[in-house]
Amino acid sequence: MNNKTDKILICHLITGLNTGGAEMMLCNLLSKSNRELFSPIVISLMDRGTFGDRIETLGIPVHSIGMKRGVPTPATFLRLVQTIRYLKPDVIQGWMYHGNLAAFLASLFLWRKIPVFWGIHFSISSLNSQKLMTRAVIRIGATISNFVYQNIFVSKNSRIQHEEIGYSSTNSCVIPNGFDTSVFKPFPEGRLKLRHELGLSEETILIGLFARYNPMKDHANFLNAAKLLHQNFSQVHFVLAGTNVDEKNKTLQDLIQELEIVSQVHLLGERQDIPYIASALDIFSLSSAFGEAFPLAIGEAMCCGVPCVVTDVGDSAWIVGDTGKVVPPKNPQLLANAFKELINLGYEGREILGKAARERVINLFSLDSVVHQYESLYETFLGYKN
């Protein structure tokens, strides 16, 4: 361990740095890190992805091990151990199942004992819904979870689920994801800007879903609800954004055509101006079927003053509280009904909910508060605090 006059060197070990909620949270966490006390570095088991350069612009080194997806080898593991030995961190913080397991195994081959913390960003509705390799990693994690310093869950629901399958309950805590409310905030000009981009009138009601294309996000649930809603609300349009959510996605395009809502659905693909396009919405939705722990997209929309309709997966209900609607997953009719309730509130009613939503995030899930919780945890375990 470094002397107490030195900065605490934190090695964040993550599976990869492509676009995703955990990756975004890591970047956000690093952006607010107390650099007078902490010196963070990042190791990606795979490549630099979409976040590598962004993290380095914060003045934080990024090391990539070059592991192929799903194909760990002795050579890549040796490269990982050598990298950590070279960096000499005071703490290793794992991110997600594979990063957590790699952090623990690598720590066994270091010259000195280094505390390992795990970050678990996933909820488990059913292990059988996971890939065979992921299922195995989750079960191995349960076996060795007693031997890490702290299992950090981003979701209360996820913590309960993991403890039910054998994860340690004696060295675990919940630190939710946090949101930078100075970045994600209402942008009134966004409303006109997006409608102009889409060729829509100012009066058009927009309902959005921002999520990468993945079975857990259940885009089909959202689109089927859109079809049901459109039967009674022809002025409503639906905006979808995220990785692979574009015209090149044939499966998505075929479903939209089959539902006969082509003219009402707008696929934006991956966007970098989320605060603007979120501010343009009347309602935000997350229609996920499983797997969510603490979805960033919900909190980001709430920060922008937008009321949300979400499925009851992970901690979505806790995030929204009484500022939106929560419905069971995989039920388009109930999702459509919830959309209808918020539409019937009118613009002013939704604005009141949206302001309450932003206030809820400020009070419960601010990024500064979350960063403080992580850093206090490290200091306590290293003996920097009583």
Class of domain 188-364: alpha beta
The architecture in CATH of the region 8-178+366-382 reads 3-Layer(aba) Sandwich (3.40)
Would you say 245 and 269 are in contact if contact means Cβ atoms under 8 Å apart?
A: yes
pLDDT tens figures, 242-299: 999 999 999 999 999 999 999 999 999 999 999 999 999 999 999 999 989 999 999 9
In this predicted structure, the answer to whether residue 180 has a pLDDT above a threshold of 80 is yes
In this predicted structure, the answer to whether residue 1 has a pLDDT above a threshold of 60 is no
pLDDT tens figures, 33-54: 999 999 999 999 999 999 999 9
In this predicted structure, the answer to whether residue 315 has a pLDDT above a threshold of 60 is yes
Mean pLDDT, residues 308-332: 97
pLDDT band at 386 (very low <50, low <70, confident <90, very high): very low
- Percent of the chain clearing pLDDT 70 (strictly above): 96
In the prediction, which pLDDT does 5 show? 52
Stated pTM of the model: 0.88
Residue 9 pairs in a beta bridge with: 39
Mean pLDDT, residues 105-131: 87
Q: Who has greater pLDDT, 271 or 124?
A: 271
In the prediction, which pLDDT does 72 show? 77
In the prediction, which pLDDT does 134 show? 81
In the prediction, which pLDDT does 269 show? 96
Would you say 312 and 326 are in contact if contact means Cβ atoms under 8 Å apart?
A: yes
- Could you state, in order of their start, the residue ranges of all structural domains in the chain? 8-178+366-382, 188-364
Among the ranges given (25-39, 94-108, 117-131, 172-186), the one the predictor scored with the smallest mean pLDDT: 117-131
Mean pLDDT, residues 4-31: 91
In the prediction, which pLDDT does 126 show? 67
pLDDT band at 7 (very low <50, low <70, confident <90, very high): very high
pLDDT band at 132 (very low <50, low <70, confident <90, very high): confident
Q: Quote the mean pLDDT of the chain.
A: 94
In the prediction, which pLDDT does 385 show? 55
In the prediction, which pLDDT does 44 show? 97
